[in-house]
Amino acid sequence: MHRMVEVTVDRDRVVLEIEGWDKLWSLRSRLEIPLAHMTGVEAKPDQVNQWWPGLKVMGTALPGLFAAGTFYHHGELVFWDVRHPADTIIVSLDHERYRKLIIEVKDPGAVVAQLQGAIKALPR
């Protein structure tokens, strides 16, 4: 089974549903983030490979195989749910516990476009 995170936009929030066994490995089943707290969304698998999780806080990591949970990276908390870096997006956040969400999704290009469009549509 190909595990990933299901991403939906619900009005002014993004809902991230952690699927399959990753709920157990990451110790999370769902994240809700206000769109206004998202400062960027991108698909950069080469960057994900370079950042492979730092110090584990809560979760599971098998270097080079998968990472799920909360990790410290350069002094910041980062949420990871990744098995295949090529299918990964990076969400940058402000005013949240996590500075970044590094998550595997079904269609990275479509999810990036969806989230960027939702962020642009926010009233300023």
Q: Which of 43-57, 68-82, 92-106 has the highest mean pLDDT?
A: 92-106
Per-residue pLDDT of 37-47, as tens digits, reads 999 999 988 87
Q: Say how many domains are in the chain.
A: 1
Q: Tell how strand 76-82 and strand 88-93 pair up.
A: unpaired
Range of the domain at 43: 5-120
Find all residues with CB under 8 Å of 61, minimum gap 6, and list them. 53, 67, 68, 69, 71, 80
What's the rounded Cα separation, in Å, for the pair 98 and 122? 21
pTM over 0.85: no
Q: Is the pLDDT of residue 11 over 70?
A: yes
